[in-house]
Amino acid sequence: MDWDEAQTRKPALPKFETMSIESLEERIAELEAEIATIRDVIKSKEAARGTADSFFKK
């Protein structure tokens, strides 16, 4: 295995069956927060793209 392969490997998922309900709910909350952050970044990038598109279309 070379360096690139090591860097692109996805981390192993936890074994959800062994996690407590509280831990699973906490994980869901963390993932939902991450999704919200990513959606905000996407909106920001779309706005920046729109601004750039309108500038360069002139």
Q: What is the pLDDT of residues 9-55, one digit of tens each?
A: 778 888 999 999 999 999 999 999 999 999 999 999 999 988 877 77
Whether pLDDT at 3 is above 60? yes
Contacts (Cβ under 8 Å, ≥6 apart) of 34 = none
> Which residue has better confidence, 7 or 25?
25
Contacts (Cβ under 8 Å, ≥6 apart) of 28 = none
Residue 2: predicted pLDDT: 67
Collapsing DSSP to helix, strand or coil, 19 comes out as coil
Record the pTM. Answer: 0.65
Residue 28: predicted pLDDT: 98
Cα 56 to its chain centre, rounded Å, is: 30
C-beta neighbour count of 6 within 10 angstroms: 8
Q: Pick the closest to residue 29 from 43, 47, 37 (CA basis).
A: 37
